Amino acid sequence: MRKLLATLATALALGALQAPSLERLAHASLSPIDGTLKVRGLAAEVRVVRDEWGVPHIYAQSTDDLFFAQGYVAAQDRLWQMEMWRRTAEGRLAEVLGPSALPRDRMARLLKYRGPLTDAEWASYHPEGRRIMAAFANGVNAYIAERGENLPVEFVLTGIRPTPWTAETLIRRATTLADAAAELQLARGVAQFGREEANRRRNPDPWDPLEIPTGFDPSTVADEVVAAARVPPAGARPPVLPQYETLVRGSAGELPDTSVKQPGSNNWVISGALSTTGKPVVANDPHREVTLPSLRCIFHLNAPGWNVIGASEPPFVGIALGHNERLGWGLTIVGTDQQDVFVEELNPANVDEAKWNGKWEPLRVVREEIPVKGQAPAVFEMKFSRHGPIVYIDKARNRAFAVRSALLEPGAAPYLAGLRLSQAKNCREFLDAAMYWKAPTENLICGDVDGNISWQASALTPSRKGWAGRLPVPGTGEFEWQGFRRDLPREFNPLRGFIATANHNIQPKGYAPPIMFKTANTRFERITRLLQMIDPSKKHSMEDHRRMQHDAYSLRAAADQTRFRGWTSADAAVERARGEIAAWDCVYARDSRAAALYEAWRATEPGGRGQTANPDPSRERVEARLQAAIKSLTASQGTDWSQWRWGRTHTRAFAHPVVPAFDLPRVERAGGAGTVAADGATYREIMDVADWDRSVTSNVPGQSGQPGSPYFGNLLADWADNKYFPMVYSQKAVEAHAAHRLTLVPAK
């Protein structure tokens, strides 16, 4: 770890860059975080205290000034990330990346929320939703105006200019077709393998026999239809201006894949009866993309009616998960099915008409012009049926595949309902507020100062009468959503004294109809392991919760160990590997050679490490695969077995979105597939309801997205070592750890 710290310090100092000009550019673009700044748009003075870990604590005298200041501070630290988030959501990447980004832009525009922008939209997030969004946008704009040409270094190097933000900018929807794609893939499987075999391979949980909807022919779903529902990647580095090309050679091109290969969000809340503190403890480690800068940013927002600390995702309005004075909360993905594919019957005499209830009705046709860097704008035509955007048209059959998505309903912008949660006063109010959380689908858990605990499976959930939503359905009127469900699973003060979720099937026994079907690729070892560790007969300390979040014990490996026992191999290397796996403690520690061998062995299964691999138990097969595993590790880690370790296999890279010279060191990680410490928990929180200042958190690699900032990668080494920092909350604690003080005052 000393080597990592030294490397990290060098990178942060920018001493290893190709020329001092990069260092000067990075530092010159930093906005002051100490002193006093005059800012147009404020009504009164705002204090911003950054603690020693880089977390801004914002103290304002009104709601308007609070969110104005949050927008300003977010832009100080993350403007480039916010700009690229915005371009991705608005379908404006080709403007800066060129024609390669056009497929992504087309999809973003096709899945754009197009209204209505009424109270049904704004008030869903908060009764003062529009006012809050406008204040935040004004704060971002104030920062952009104040900086002029001296914007963050990424803007300087690329020549990209941010455009003014509005309240509407902040309510962009997620560009996803995951649920629709799953329907089409299953339909394709039915066409290829038959209904029963396709369903067996999908292995739905809860079990469902898979009925083919009347009027739907699975053979009409060709590979091209399935491909049309895939959202194209957006990961490319924008080119730099000619004058900087020699300085930052190799900057353009694809970014490394940041997706989580072994997803595994966890959360739990225990009651005071199970806690050494006598009050609930809330723990959460959502696993998402590992990015530079971090996907999440931590804020503390304090004004009359507001005192909340925690994290949010771009565009960073409010707090999505954290705590206020009365309660703490966390989230994990539920997996609620929020989309359906409708197969529209087109009029052979006019393909811009679709049949519904026996009549032809016009499709809505929208044409948009997409600016493209280096060439003329691209004209893009989109079509919409009454059900939603059309992703594919089968001209030969006069059929169109449209998607109805709950994400395109009012109030479904992701995470913004955290504004309502931030002002809940107890777990009962929290449950009511959680029903406004429409996307993404989340297990929202809560613990309050009165000792209550609760859970709500939150999402805008379609009501389907008489059909399951697992396959596409005809769009001619026989299958329609009947509004949205209110009977979503929830708990309040369960007798067991705790609530835990880990992306598993959370539907109670007998709950019908299901809101989702987990599939063969979903793993349930994490929830089983959590239930083993949350012992209702003991009282758990804060240290116990830390250990649970980083628990790297693999139940699957323990089950597989029997395959390595009771026999020996004549091959000395294979016997050595077999013996090490057989004696292994099944913990995915960074320095574990047995973990590296076992995972290399699993990778040799047909289908790789997935749950659907062929579990051939024969000794001969196990031995042959061990030989292949040894060969694989020798190729990747060398011939010296003493240098083999799991950490060298399980690493995380931190690639800067523009300049490779700003990349942070790759780090080795414990944990892995099926363990509680799976992968990708860039943000963690453990909240002590008895004393909020005893709460801890982590956020990697740092709070700032600016390479010249001391808070760009300062948290990386601790994250690699599974360490936390205090989530300071009280005025006394914040002042004790204050590192920078900035006062924003109204400009005359």
Per-residue pLDDT tens digits for 82-122: 999 999 999 999 999 999 999 999 999 999 999 999 999 99
Report helix, strand or coil for 566: coil
Percent of the chain past pLDDT 70, that is, above it, reads 93
pLDDT digits (tens, 9 = 90+) for 311-338: 999 999 999 999 999 999 999 999 999 9
Query: What values do phi and psi take at 557, rounded to 5?
Result: -60, -40
The residue-averaged pLDDT of 218-235 equals 92
Place of tokens 């099944």: 586
- Mean pLDDT on 152-181: 95
State the DSSP code for 240: P
Region 553-572 average pLDDT? 95
Nearest CA-CA partner of 173 in 102, 138, 121: 121
Sign of the CA dihedral running 656, 660, 664, 666: positive
Residue 28 burial (CB count, 10 A): 11
Q: How far apart are CA 88 and CA 385, in angstroms?
A: 24
Measure the CA–CA gap between 427 and 323, rounded to whole angstroms.
Answer: 12
pLDDT in the model for residue 15: 41
Residue 10 pLDDT: 47
**Could you read off the pLDDT of 461-500 as tens digits, one per residue?**
999 999 999 999 999 999 999 999 999 999 999 999 999 9
Confidence of residue 263 (pLDDT cuts 50, 70, 90): low
State how far the Cα of 17 lies from the Cα of 66, in Å rounded to an integer: 38
Contacts of 614 (CB under 8 A, 6+ apart): 605, 606, 607
More confident residue, 533 or 19: 533
In angstroms, the Cα distances linking 425 to 305, 434, 493 are 11, 13, 16
Q: What is the pLDDT at residue 12? A: 47
Mean pLDDT of all residues in 9-17: 45
CA atoms of 221 and 401, how far apart (whole Å): 9
* Neighbouring residues of 399: CB distance < 8 A, sequence distance ≥ 6: 220, 343, 344, 345, 346, 393
Tens of pLDDT, residues 606-624: 655 544 334 556 889 999 9
The phi and psi torsions of 124 (rounded to 5 degrees) equal: -65, -35
2 Cβ neighbours under 8 A, 6+ residues apart: none
In this predicted structure, what is the pLDDT of residue 425? 98
Q: Are 503 and 262 in contact (CB under 8 A)?
A: no
The CB-side HSE value for 323 (13 A sphere, CA atoms) comes to 32
Residue 711 banded pLDDT, cuts 50, 70, 90: very high
Q: Is the pLDDT of residue 250 over 70?
A: no
Query: How do 473-474 and 339-347 pair as beta strands?
Result: parallel
Q: Average pLDDT over the chain, rounded to whole?
A: 93
In whole angstroms, give the CA distance from residue 262 to residue 554.
Answer: 13
CB 37, CB 147: distance < 8 Å: no
d(CA 320, CA 284): 12
Listed residue (158, 162, 89, 91) closest to 378, CA to CA: 91
Q: Which helix (H) or strand (E) holds 623?
A: helix 619-637
Which element (helix H / strand E) includes 389? strand 388-394
Element (H, E) at 542: helix 542-549
Report the largest interatomic distance among the alpha carbons of the chain, rounded to a whole angstrom: 85
User: In the structure, what pLDDT confidence band is assigned to residue 18 with cuts at 50, 70 and 90?
Assistant: very low
Rounded distance, CA 695 to CA 688, Å? 5
pLDDT for position 20: 47
Q: Which helix (H) or strand (E) holds 573?
A: helix 572-583
The pair of structure tokens assigned to 490 is 């929830």
Q: What is the mean pLDDT of residues 549-561?
A: 95
**Quick one: 246 exposed, middle or buried, by C-beta within 10 A (0-12, 13-18, 19+)?**
exposed
Nearest to 134 by CA among 319, 317, 408: 317
Q: Which helix (H) or strand (E) holds 698?
A: strand 696-699
Structure tokens at 170: 């902040």
**Cis before residue 315, ω within 30 degrees of 0?**
yes
Per-residue model confidence as pLDDT tens digits over 193-215: 999 999 999 999 999 999 999 99
Using the predicted structure, report yes or no on whether residue 258 has a pLDDT greater than 70: no
pLDDT confidence tier of residue 519, bands split at 50, 70 and 90: confident
Q: Mean pLDDT lowest for which of 15-19, 165-169, 247-251, 736-740?
A: 15-19
Flag whether pLDDT at 507 surpasses 80.
Answer: yes
* Each residue's pLDDT tens digit, 114-143: 999 999 999 999 999 999 999 999 999 999
Among 56, 169, 156, 175, CA closest to 110: 175
Give the separation between CA 246 and CA 248, rounded to whole angstroms: 6
Q: Which helix (H) or strand (E) holds 198?
A: helix 195-202
CB 461 within 8 A of CB 435: no
The DSSP string of 295-354 is S-EEEEEEETTEEEEEEE-TT--S-SEEE-SSEEEEEEE-----EEEEEEEEETTEEEEE
* Span between the terminal Cα atoms of the chain, in Å: 51
609-613: Cβ within 8 A, 24+ apart = 609/673, 610/521, 611/520, 611/521, 611/522, 611/523, 612/201, 612/520, 612/521
Instruction: Write down the pLDDT at residue 521.
Output: 62
* CB of 492 closer than 8 Å to CB of 312: no
Q: Quick one: pLDDT at residue 610?
A: 45
Return the structure tokens found at 57. Answer: 């604590």
Q: Is the pLDDT of residue 297 over 50?
A: yes
Asked whether residue 13 carries a pLDDT value surpassing 60, the answer given is no
User: pTM of this prediction?
Assistant: 0.93
The Cα–Cα gap between 297 and 415 comes to 13
Q: How crowded is residue 18: how many other Cβ atoms within 10 Å of its Cβ?
A: 13
* 360-367: long-range contacts, CB 8 A cutoff, minimum separation 24: 361/386, 363/390, 363/400
Nearest residue to 225 (alpha-carbon basis) of 109, 391, 111? 391
413, 170 contact by CB (below 8 A):
yes
Q: For residues 108 and 114, is the Cβ–Cβ distance under 8 A?
A: no
pLDDT of residue 84: 95
